């Protein structure tokens, strides 16, 4: 699949995940076989207000393309302005969030609330596109199953100018419960001419192959199963190429990758603080603390499936520096896989 003049190296896209899909995560999943990775959702309004923390979420400089920035908005004017800023920063594509189920977001008329406002959603696509970048839409199947809007909504986004659509095969009212409905994703694929990326519950090479073949989508988006397991992209890629499944990573490789994630994110947070004019010593301390706090949950995922994971996670949650985490991992020895 081609996105904004980039032929993806694989039809596998790492999902936007608030609090997880930061710069270091995106680099690591690309290195493990993802064709690209989407930033977490960023508020168009906060971009317009020049919020510093928001600016750090748009950490694109030097990142491999296509750089897809996901924005959420309900007001076309804010989105128009934010889109121009995001283009200036280096985005190749603006993805619009029309699936977030969180009550705070929905109450503002953003995220999945837009599934019931197709006219406004179309205006938002046009507002974002005014900056000249391709715009994509990430939607759910609908707000409630009884709305039955997935095909009409996707067609409306295509008519508004969306370059491609990602469909998460759940309704807003499900949040993350139940199973993604891939038959409905296939219905969207059949109804539109633009590329469709299917999303929901891909967690193994077998499900990936089944969903690709069964739905006819152009690419797969994968989220939760990649947390702590970027190797999943490599396993799926091998399956797509008819190659034997790569071996699961050793404990040493798991630790090295978890630490790479942590150290790289620390580097980025320090960089942002230096840029904001912090004294170097303060930038180091605060940048490191931010990296540790923001990555604790994600680091915990790397231990999934290893004996002693629960105890390790508990210890991890008490640590506040990279050196302490390095020491913890060095002290563990060689645990065995529990699955």
Ligand X SMILES: Cc1cc2nc3c(=O)[nH]c(=O)nc-3n(C[C@H](O)[C@H](O)[C@H](O)COP(=O)(O)O)c2cc1C
The binding site for ligand X (CB under 6 A) comprises 15-20, 40-41, 70, 97, 99-100, 138, 168, 199-202, 222-225
Chain-centroid distance, C-alpha 234: 17
CB of 100 to ligand X, least distance (A): 6
Cβ proximity to ligand X: between 100 and 291 the closer is 100
The helix-helix angle for 118-129 and 150-160 (nearest 10°) equals 30
Least distance to ligand X, CB of residue 190, Å: 21
Shortest spacing between CB 143 and ligand X, in angstroms: 15
For ligand X, the closer CB: 81 or 229? 229
State in angstroms the smallest separation of the CB of 227 from ligand X: 8
Query: CB atoms < 10 A from the CB of 260, how many?
Result: 14
Distance between terminal CA atoms of the chain? 34
Q: Report the largest interatomic distance among the alpha carbons of the chain, rounded to a whole angstrom.
A: 58
Omega of the bond leading into 55 within 30 degrees of 0 (cis): no
Listed residue (316, 314, 264, 317) closest to 291, CA to CA: 264
- Would you name the residues annotated as active-site residues? 100
Our CB check for ligand X shows the closer of 164 and 322 to be 164
Q: Between residues 168 and 264, which has the closer beta carbon with respect to ligand X? A: 168
- DSSP secondary structure string, 213-280? HHH--SEEEE-GGGTT-THHHHHHHHHHTTPPPPPPPPHHHHHHHHHHHHHHHHHHHHHHHHHTT--H
């Amino acid at each position: 699949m081609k996105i904004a003049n980039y032929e993806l190296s694989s039809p596998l896209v790492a999902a936007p995940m608030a609090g997880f899909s930061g710069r270091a995560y995106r680099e690591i999943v690309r290195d493990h076989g993802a064709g690209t990775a989407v930033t977490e959702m960023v508020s168009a309004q906060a971009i317009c207000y020049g919020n510093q923390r928001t600016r750090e979420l748009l950490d694109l400089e030097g990142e491999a393309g296509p750089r897809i920035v996901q924005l959420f908005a309900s007001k076309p004017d804010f989105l128009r302005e934010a889109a121009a800023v995001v283009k200036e920063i280096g985005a190749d594509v603006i993805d619009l969030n029309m699936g977030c189920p969180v009550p705070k977001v929905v109450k503002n008329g953003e995220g999945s609330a837009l599934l019931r406002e197709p006219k406004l959603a179309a205006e938002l696509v046009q507002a974002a596109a005014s900056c000249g970048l391709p715009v994509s839409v990430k939607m759910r199947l609908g707000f409630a199953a009884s709305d039955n809007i997935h095909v009409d909504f996707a067609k409306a986004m295509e008519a508004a100018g969306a370059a491609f659509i990602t469909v998460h095969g759940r309704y807003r009212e499900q949040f993350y419960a139940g199973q993604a409905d891939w038959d409905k994703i296939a219905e969207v694929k059949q109804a539109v001419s633009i590329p469709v990326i299917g999303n929901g519950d891909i967690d193994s090479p077998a499900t990936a192959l089944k969903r690709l073949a069964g739905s006819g989508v152009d690419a797969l988006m994968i989220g939760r199963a990649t947390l702590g397991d970027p190797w999943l992209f490599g396993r799926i890629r091998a399956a797509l190429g008819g190659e034997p499944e790569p071996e699961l990573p050793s404990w040493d490789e798991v630790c090295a990758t978890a630490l790479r994630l942590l150290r790289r994110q620390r580097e980025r947070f320090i960089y942002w603080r230096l840029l904001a004019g912090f004294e170097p010593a303060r930038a180091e301390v605060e940048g490191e603390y931010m990296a540790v706090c923001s990555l604790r949950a994600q680091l915990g995922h790397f231990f999934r499936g290893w004996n002693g994971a629960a105890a390790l996670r508990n210890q991890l949650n008490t640590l506040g520096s990279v050196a302490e985490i390095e020491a913890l991992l060095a002290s563990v020895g060689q645990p065995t896989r529990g699955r």
